[in-house]
């Protein structure tokens, strides 16, 4: 009789549920060939169960934080952690998955038999990214990253009869794998320098030892930053984003972008803030530089885009810069708040794109939005609110989010970065306004566009969330403040 080791299953319950859900979707599809609707119900149940387990985890890890993080635990021999940070991130990922599936439902239905694959891939991607934000071991983090990324590569090429989508998927795959390789290389060098793969153990290592010549460690760290910087499309590692956002089927782009960003930023924060806070003199200037570069490059290049998707991609680069200012601030509260409100805006914005240009489309010229507010007032207003939210105007969540990360960076002595960030925000106003101008101030003879019920739900939630978190941000900030990493 072999004794089974004592395992805290609770730490990975949501991921187990998600993986099982993905398998169930595929098996049911093969066996019974049901209507896509049935698969939707299965994935909905999966998500609801996973979210319930996440709440259970929050009750244990989040609550306990008030008592010094007693409820947080390290499980599976140091592979994963269940701290407020991971649970918060997982919660946001799951909510975005739900919204992403709703927003992409038209696309999934139009894929016919391949719809099941799309649903399964979405659930698997979430599994991967969810593991990634909860990993304490760098190899585990890599596994999560790859499970998630590979699912996204396939999703990007879901409409494979479209050459643009093929191109996007191929580009994403090649550059993404390259970035993953760089990340692993960084992990290897960090391991070579410290002898540790566990993030908590790496921090322990730096408290115990003073490294006189940390060159190998720093190179390793730099490579990790490059790898993750690619995933979150921070400049100068952003060049894939516009092509992929433009080419991939509209129904899934919002989901893809949101997932990669949430997981990527949480991973960066965990590695830097939990793993190597002692080296902050080395990495703070680097992150600050990346942040400034991303904000400026993103905002300025977005000005000249004539495709709304490319514009959103470059705005995503700028947002990557804004979120990095939170990490420069050395805190996670503002960053978590920012990531969650931005993710919901992103999913909402691409839901609009999917309605205007069609769920399986590639590209979305700004001309298609001409007079949208006249043709479909509700859709136009929703898009306007989301864009203003991204621009960070007061009374939207975007303003509170920017205010949060900028204050943190300011408090940490990076005043110049805050000023750059504020100027970049002003530049950014110009391109968000451009879309609003086209929607509201141009007349058109075109027909109204039909918005499906699922998309209406997504937009309703995204708009209400954006406004509510802008007026009454306290609950979400408090949650984010309780969700610090171990």
What CA–CA distances, in Å, run from 264 to 148, 238, 392, 484? 11, 13, 22, 16
Residue 274's nearest CA partner among 133, 440, 109 is 133
d(CA 108, CA 452): 13
| Token pair recorded at residue 114 | 């391949």
Report how many residues bind other proteins under the rule CB under 8 A: 27
Residues 6 or more apart in contact with residue 285 via CB below 8 angstroms? none
Handedness of CA 272, 276, 278, 282 (dihedral sign): negative
- Distance of closest approach, residue 415 Cβ to other proteins, in angstroms: 7
- Among 418, 459, 463, 480, interactor with other proteins by CB under 8 A: 418
338 forms part of the interface with other proteins (CB under 8 A)? no
Q: Looking at 63-71, 308-316, 410-418, 459-467, which segment touches other proteins (CB under 8 A)?
A: 410-418
- Distance of closest approach, residue 393 Cβ to other proteins, in angstroms: 6
SS3 265: helix
d(CA 415, CA 428): 20
- Of the pair 128, 404, the CB lying nearest other proteins is at 404
- Among 76, 185, 191, 440, interactor with other proteins by CB under 8 A: 440
| Binding residues for other proteins restricted to 383-402, rule: CB under 8 A | 388, 393-395, 399
Q: Looking at 28-36, 52-60, 303-311, 430-438, which segment touches other proteins (CB under 8 A)?
A: 430-438
| Token pair recorded at residue 109 | 């239905």
- Of the pair 221, 417, the CB lying nearest other proteins is at 417
d(CA 225, CA 207): 22
- Distance of closest approach, residue 471 Cβ to other proteins, in angstroms: 9
27 forms part of the interface with other proteins (CB under 8 A)? no
- Among 419, 446, 448, 464, interactor with other proteins by CB under 8 A: 419
277 forms part of the interface with other proteins (CB under 8 A)? no
d(CA 261, CA 319): 10
What CA–CA distances, in Å, run from 97 to 12, 33, 43? 17, 24, 10
- Of the pair 123, 335, the CB lying nearest other proteins is at 335
304 forms part of the interface with other proteins (CB under 8 A)? no
Residue 355's nearest CA partner among 368, 374, 370, 342 is 368
Q: What are phi and psi of 236, to 5 degrees?
A: -90, 30
- Among 195, 285, 415, 460, interactor with other proteins by CB under 8 A: 415
- Distance of closest approach, residue 430 Cβ to other proteins, in angstroms: 6
Which positions from 463 to 482 touch other proteins by CB under 8 A, shown as an x/- string? ----------xx--x---x-
- Of the pair 298, 358, the CB lying nearest other proteins is at 298
Strand pairing category for 73-75 and 80-82: antiparallel
The residue ranges that bind other proteins (CB under 8 A) are: 388, 393-395, 399, 403, 406-407, 410-411, 415, 418-419, 422-423, 425-426, 429-430, 433, 437, 440-441, 473-474, 477, 481
């Amino acid at each position: 009789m072999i004794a089974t080791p004592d395992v805290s299953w609770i730490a990975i319950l949501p991921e187990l549920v998600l993986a099982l859900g993905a398998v169930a979707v595929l098996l049911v599809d093969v066996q019974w060939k049901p209507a896509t609707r049935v698969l939707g119900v299965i994935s909905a149940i999966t998500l609801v169960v996973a979210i319930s387990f996440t709440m259970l985890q929050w009750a244990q890890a989040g609550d306990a934080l008030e008592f010094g993080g007693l409820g947080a635990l390290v499980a599976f021999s140091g592979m994963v952690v269940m701290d407020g940070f991971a649970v918060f991130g997982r919660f946001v990922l799951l909510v975005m998955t739900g919204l992403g599936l709703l927003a992409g439902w038209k696309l999934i239905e139009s894929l016919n038999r391949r719809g099941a694959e799309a649903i399964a891939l979405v659930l698997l991607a979430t599994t991967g990214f969810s593991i990634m934000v909860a990993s304490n071991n760098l190899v585990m983090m890599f596994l999560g990253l790859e499970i998630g990324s590979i699912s996204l590569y396939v999703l990007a090429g879901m409409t494979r009869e479209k050459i643009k989508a093929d191109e996007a998927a191929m580009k994403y795959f090649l550059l993404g794998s390259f970035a993953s390789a760089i990340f692993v290389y960084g992990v290897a060098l960090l391991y070579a320098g410290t002898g540790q793969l566990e993030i908590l153990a790496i921090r322990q290592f730096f408290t115990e030892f003073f490294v006189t010549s940390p060159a190998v460690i720093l190179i390793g760290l730099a490579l990790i930053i490059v790898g993750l910087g690619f995933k979150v499309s921070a400049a100068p590692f952003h060049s894939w984003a516009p092509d992929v956002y433009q080419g991939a089927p509209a129904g899934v782009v919002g989901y893809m972008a949101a997932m990669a960003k949430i997981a990527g930023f949480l991973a960066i924060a965990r590695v830097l803030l939990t793993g190597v806070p002692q080296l902050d003199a080395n990495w703070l200037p680097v992150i600050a530089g990346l942040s400034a570069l991303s904000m400026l490059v993103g905002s300025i290049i977005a000005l000249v885009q004539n495709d709304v998707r490319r514009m959103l991609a470059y705005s995503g680069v700028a947002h990557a810069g804004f979120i990095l200012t939170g990490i420069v601030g050395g805190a996670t509260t503002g960053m978590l708040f920012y990531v969650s409100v931005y993710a919901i805006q992103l999913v909402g914005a691409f839901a609009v794109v999917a309605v205007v240009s069609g769920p399986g489309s590639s590209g979305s010229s700004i001309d298609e939005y001409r007079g949208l507010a006249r043709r479909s007032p509700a859709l136009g207003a929703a898009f306007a609110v989301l864009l203003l939210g991204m621009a960070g105007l007061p009374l939207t969540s975007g303003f509170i989010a920017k205010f949060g990360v900028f204050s943190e960076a300011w408090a940490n002595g990076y005043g110049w970065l805050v000023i750059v960030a504020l100027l970049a925000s002003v530049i950014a106003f110009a391109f968000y306004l451009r879309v609003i101008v086209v929607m509201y101030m141009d007349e058109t003879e075109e027909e109204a566009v039909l918005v499906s019920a699922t998309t209406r739900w997504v937009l309703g939630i995204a708009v209400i969330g954006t406004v509510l978190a802008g007026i009454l941000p306290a609950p979400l900030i408090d949650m984010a403040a309780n969700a610090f990493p171990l």
